[in-house]
Amino acid sequence: MMLSWEYPPRVIGGISPHIYFLSKYLSKQNVKVYVVTCDFPGAPAHEVIGNVEVYRVDSYKSPSPDFATWVYLMNMNMQKETAALMKKIGDKVNVIHAHDWLVANAGIGLKHVFRKPLIVTMHSTEMGRRDGLHTTAERMIHETEAWLTYEAWKVICCSDYMITHVRYAFGLPNDKLAMVPNGVNTHSYEFDNDCEIFRAKFALPEEKIALFVGRLVYEKGVQILINAVPKILAKVNTKFIIVGSGYMKEQLLNIVQSMGLEHKVLFEGFMDETTLQKLQKCADVSIVPSLFEPFGIVALEAMAARSPVVASDTGGLSEIIEHDKTGVKVYPNNPDSLAWGIIKILKDETYANYIRDNAYRRVQERYDWQKIASDTKSIYEAVLSEYSKSFWAKTV
């Protein structure tokens, strides 16, 4: 029983595609997967996708004064609906797999009501997202995350960096943690794309395309890229395309305007998946300047699209990118270093192609969903083996 606040077509961050592919490939390995998630306009309340059953619950049943309160109220309804579902389908559910604090209450409650083992994937932490804990709301979310990981039988993280971070943030023992990387679907980038025509929508023929994809929030480091833009333009004629939205958008627009660079930096907002994939395939460089990055799925997607990546040497990005082989790593929070990395790629076509080929091979070798599902299934089996010896297994 998979619990997530997002599942396609509801896509807010990286959890949605993660659940989609993980459940899809788990079901190919004979794991029956039920996904309970939030509703979305036009999406059915119950849907069967292959061997995956998706249930979408009413997430706005109760009015809420703020986002965090909404999360707990949404959990109340998700928990109620999932409890009814689990009672209906009988003893078919062996494990409950909750993704992030956003479904903490539902996951913990269902664990105790049905006495089933709870597995948790921590995609990120509040402490990491906010670079510390500064407000009451942040501390509340942090404590909820700690409570969730305390209740979990096993905590899955997507990088060695996150394992260390989660162990530190919540004081967890080593044997409770397991690393399973995130994956990328390379097949979705296998289509013919006439870059000559497509790129004309964004850049002049003589301009290189530098692409940033991500939420426009502090930890994604888009402000560092903006600061690096004049240094790059001094060396290479480039068009910077920013895809995504977030609370920093207005502020960033003002900075770009004050620099007189509106014609060089385009804010495209949200982009549909097909257009984004075409753009990633045409981009001369993809930039991931994050300050905090548990994994760095955007880098992996760019590598699958054969776009050379320049990324901060931080978090999960440090593990994905091998410097000078599958990408270029730069100092985090350093516009000079970032500009150096981007210029290095844009000025040397041979080097860029070398990076492209290596990166694509690395993605196929290490970040294949089949392997990730297999690793996850092994964790389920190990937990179930331990659970079968517990007194809980004898009382249900």
Whichever of 148 and 243 has its CB closer to other proteins, that residue is 148
248 in Cβ contact with 224 (< 8 Å) = no
Residue 46 dihedral angles phi and psi, to the nearest 5°: -135, 130
Structure tokens at 12: 């807010």
Residue selected from 44, 89, 131, 139 as contacting other proteins according to rule CB under 8 A:
139
What's the Cα-to-Cα distance from 345 to each of 105, 225, 271, 316, rounded to whole Å?
Answer: 46, 15, 25, 21
Whichever of 133 and 291 has its CB closer to other proteins, that residue is 133
In whole angstroms, the minimum distance from the beta carbon of 134 to other proteins comes to 12
Alpha carbon distance 236, 387 (integer Å): 59
**Cα 128 → chain centroid:** 14
247: left (phi over 0), alpha (psi -120 to 50) or beta: alpha
Under rule CB under 8 A, residue 59 binds other proteins: no
Under rule CB under 8 A, residue 37 binds other proteins: no
Alpha carbon distance 363, 360 (integer Å): 5
Under rule CB under 8 A, residue 200 binds other proteins: no
Alpha carbon distance 180, 369 (integer Å): 11
| Strand, helix or coil for residue 70 | helix
Site string for other proteins, 65-84 (x = CB under 8 A): xx-xx--xx-xx--xxx-xx
Listed ranges 63-71, 168-176, 344-352, 366-374: which one lies at the site for other proteins (CB under 8 A): 63-71
Whichever of 49 and 393 has its CB closer to other proteins, that residue is 393
In whole angstroms, the minimum distance from the beta carbon of 27 to other proteins comes to 25
Listed ranges 37-45, 92-100, 111-119, 288-296: which one lies at the site for other proteins (CB under 8 A): 111-119
Whichever of 133 and 179 has its CB closer to other proteins, that residue is 133
265-269, strands of its sheet edge to edge: 265-269, 238-243, 208-213, 285-288, 309-312, 328-330
Whichever of 151 and 375 has its CB closer to other proteins, that residue is 151
In whole angstroms, the minimum distance from the beta carbon of 248 to other proteins comes to 23
Under rule CB under 8 A, residue 124 binds other proteins: no
In whole angstroms, the minimum distance from the beta carbon of 53 to other proteins comes to 18
Tell me the site size for other proteins, rule CB under 8 A: 36
Under rule CB under 8 A, residue 45 binds other proteins: no
| Strand, helix or coil for residue 306 | coil
Alpha carbon distance 345, 200 (integer Å): 21
Whichever of 146 and 297 has its CB closer to other proteins, that residue is 146
| Strand, helix or coil for residue 255 | helix
Whichever of 84 and 382 has its CB closer to other proteins, that residue is 84
In whole angstroms, the minimum distance from the beta carbon of 103 to other proteins comes to 12
Listed ranges 13-21, 136-144, 346-354, 369-377: which one lies at the site for other proteins (CB under 8 A): 136-144
323 DSSP 8-state letter:
B
Alpha carbon distance 132, 140 (integer Å): 13
Under rule CB under 8 A, residue 23 binds other proteins: no
**Cα 365 → chain centroid:** 20
Structure tokens at 92: 């078919």
Residue selected from 45, 87, 200, 381 as contacting other proteins according to rule CB under 8 A:
87
**Residue numbers at the binding site for other proteins (CB under 8 A):** 61-66, 68-69, 72-73, 75-76, 79-81, 83-84, 86-87, 105, 108-110, 112-115, 136-137, 139-140, 143-144, 147, 395-396
